């Protein structure tokens, strides 16, 4: 999975964003707050941003200190600009995302969905 920098597409490419800036700010702050800053050298939660969705990923350094950090997808938030709704998608063991609508319907409030991913009690996200 190619990494995305915040507010840009695949590293080095700009992406025309359909996602509201305020929601991107909220997602970014939520990700940073998931892990205390003094532990960021061990694990971080970041947002990989694409034009219509944001993937929440857990980032860890290589166990032996050699090579790239691992980026493990936790959940995806998909934005539909025509309805201004966010929807949660869950990741299966084959790294494919599936709609989570039957358990948590789409919402116009991305913070509500982030709180659900964090505290909803479903181990599908944080295991």
Q: Kindly state the helix (H) or strand (E) to which residue 48 belongs, with its residue range.
A: strand 44-49
Phi, psi angles (nearest 5°) of residue 46: -130, 170
Give the pLDDT score at 12.
42
- The single-letter DSSP state of residue 41 is T
- pTM of the predicted model, to two decimals? 0.83
Cβ contacts of residue 102 below 8 Å, gap of 6+? none
CA quadruple 20, 25, 27, 28: dihedral, nearest 10: 140
Distance CA 111, CA 46 (A): 15
97-99 and 85-91 beta bridge pairing: antiparallel
pLDDT in tens, the chain (127 residues): 333 344 444 444 444 468 999 999 999 999 999 999 999 999 999 999 999 999 999 999 998 888 899 999 999 999 999 999 999 999 999 999 999 988 899 999 999 999 999 998 889 998 7
Residue located via tokens 């319907």: 105
Q: Kindly state the helix (H) or strand (E) to which residue 58 belongs, with its residue range.
A: strand 53-60
Assign 26 to helix, strand or coil: helix
Give the pLDDT score at 21.
96
């Amino acid at each position: 999975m190619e990494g995305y920098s915040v507010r840009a597409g695949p590293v080095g490419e700009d992406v025309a964003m359909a996602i509201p800036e305020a929601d991107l700010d909220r997602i970014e702050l939520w990700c940073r707050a998931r892990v205390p800053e003094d532990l960021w050298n061990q694990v971080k939660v970041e947002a990989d941003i694409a034009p219509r969705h944001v993937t929440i990923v857990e980032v860890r350094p290589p166990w032996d200190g050699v090579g790239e950090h691992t980026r493990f997808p936790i959940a995806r938030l998909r934005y539909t600009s025509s309805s201004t709704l966010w929807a949660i998608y869950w990741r299966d063991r084959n790294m494919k995302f599936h709609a989570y609508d039957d358990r948590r319907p789409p919402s116009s409030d991305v913070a509500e969905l982030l709180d659900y991913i964090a505290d909803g009690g479903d181990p599908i996200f944080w295991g």
